[in-house]
Amino acid sequence: MTTNIKVSAHCASNKRVTIERVNSSNTFTEPPIHLNDGETYEVVVFDDFVVSVREELSGDRKPVGIAPPTQEIHANMVVALAKPGETIRAELTAHDAHLVHMTIGISGEAGELLDAIKKAAVYRKPLDRANVIEELGDIEFYMEGLRQGLGITREETLQANIAKLSKRYGQFEYSDQAAQNRADKPEGQ
């Protein structure tokens, strides 16, 4: 897919702007464009091309270091690359919606649990044990809903976790080295 990104440059009074299109190998792809007082120029950037914009003071033409409009390039890139919500909605099944609902629930409740722990650990407030139990229960609710939606039992989940950590920590003895080595993961993960 070709991504077209439009970049605008404008030359203010008593200045000169130079626009250069360069590819990712820093090879100039066309002659530079020079703008004079009050001129504006738009250029479309394709794929791996970037635009270099230099603004120079009139007279000695000393570069003052104007960077390409990164925020505009990024905003246009997001519009071009984000899957449209309408498409997602049209493709979403009831099963997909359930899985998303359960996963969002886990994330939201985990945030609430984190906030309860933060208040105790960081702000030195007494731990609200009843709230922690409530949030853990909410997390369990959403996890069970997700497991049911995926056809996975809690027993399968616990067995898989025990097997993974047995491989990582051998005799169930924690060490920083074992945590970093992650013997349960293929090399490079």
Q: Tell me the domain boundaries of the chain.
A: 4-81, 88-181
Is the Cβ–Cβ distance between 148 and 101 less than 8 Å?
Answer: no
Cα separation, 118 vs 14, in Å, equals 55
Q: Which CATH number fits domain 88-181: 3.30.70, 3.30.1400, 1.10.287, 1.10.10?
A: 1.10.287
Q: For residue 170, how many other CB atoms are within 10 A of its CB? A: 11
What is the per-residue pLDDT for 81?
85
Q: Which residue has the higher pLDDT, 98 or 32?
A: 98
The verdict on domain 4-81 having CATH code 1.20.140 is no
Q: Which two tokens stand for residue 153?
A: 């039992």
Radius of gyration of the chain (CA): 28
Q: What is the pLDDT of residue 35?
A: 55
pTM value surpassing 0.85: no
Query: Model confidence over 49-102: pLDDT tens digits?
Result: 444 444 444 444 433 333 445 676 677 778 888 899 999 999 999 999 999 999
Same topology for domains 4-81 and 88-181, yes or no?
no
> 166 near 172, Cβ under 8 Å?
yes
**pLDDT of 39:** 53
Distance CA 116, CA 179 (A): 27
134-138 CB contacts, 8 Å cutoff, 24+ apart: 135/109, 138/105, 138/109, 138/112
